[in-house]
Amino acid sequence: MKKSIGAKTAIYPTPVLVIGTYDKTGKPNLATVAWGGVCCSRPPCVAVSLRKATYSHANIVARKAFTVNILSVARLAEADYYGMASGREENKFSRTGVTPVKSDLVDAPYGKEFPLVLECRLKHTVELGLHTQFVGEILDAKADEAVMGDNEYPDIEKLRPILYAPGSQKYYAVGECVGDAFSVGKSI
């Protein structure tokens, strides 16, 4: 028998996304978000939810753009740090020695050392409550050769993205591949 655990954001796992923005003076910033994910295929869009209290929130509203940076588990400490410090007080790029690169498509920076980056133009802003959901249209995705697979997408096993478990607040790496989508179900 199942037990009610209340109205909880119990989705496992969520991705760990690092959002790149510029503030009003042009200072680049990075902030970690676990409430986010793909929300449309055509046009390709990603949704990320930020509280108004974050520095990044005002940056996205002002610049109408952000980048989504995917870090590998080798950069776990940085991903965690970007989610604890605020760009109001610190320059998180220089503190971690990451090189800010200005996107040539949108008014937002990304980290040169990060293996995968999505450049997003703000398309919708949805006030949900504590969080504001920003839907960004992905104008381009840029990936390091080293993480590429053979189908023009990054290979998840090379990328080794960081996963997040709500509740326990722990980070995980991806496990083994357990089947091919749109295929294994044919056996039923």
Ligand X SMILES: Cc1cc2nc3c(=O)[nH]c(=O)nc-3n(C[C@H](O)[C@H](O)[C@H](O)COP(=O)(O)O)c2cc1C
Candidate list 15, 28, 34, 154; residue touching ligand X; CB under 6 A: 34
Binding mask 86-125 for ligand X (x = CB under 6 A): xxx-------------------------------------
The H or E element that residue 136 is part of is: strand 131-143
- Residue 79: phi, psi to the nearest 5? -60, -40
C-beta closer to ligand X: residue 76 or 148: 76
Q: Which of 28, 32, 117, 138 binds ligand X (CB under 6 A)?
A: 32
Token match 């109205």: residue? 7
DSSP 20-52: EEE-TT--EEEEEESSEEEEETTTTEEEEEEET
Beta carbon of residue 35, minimum distance to ligand X (angstroms, whole number): 3
Residue with tokens 């357990």: 178
Complex with ligand X: residue 34 or 106, whichever CB lies closer: 34
With contacts defined by CB under 6 A, name the span among 68-76, 84-92, 99-107, 108-116 that binds ligand X: 84-92
- Distance CA(29)–CA(183), nearest Å, equals 42
Site for ligand X contains 49 (CB under 6 A):
yes
Residues 6+ apart with CB under 8 A from 135: 39, 40, 45, 46, 47, 122, 123, 124, 125, 126
> Which residues contact residue 183 at a Cβ distance below 8 angstroms, ignoring those fewer than 6 apart?
none
143 touches ligand X (CB under 6 A): no
Q: Which is nearer to ligand X, 33 or 70 (CB)?
A: 33
Contact pick of 37, 61, 76, 80 for ligand X (by CB under 6 A)? 80
Binding residues vs ligand X (CB under 6 A):
16, 29, 31-35, 49-51, 54-56, 80, 83-88, 164
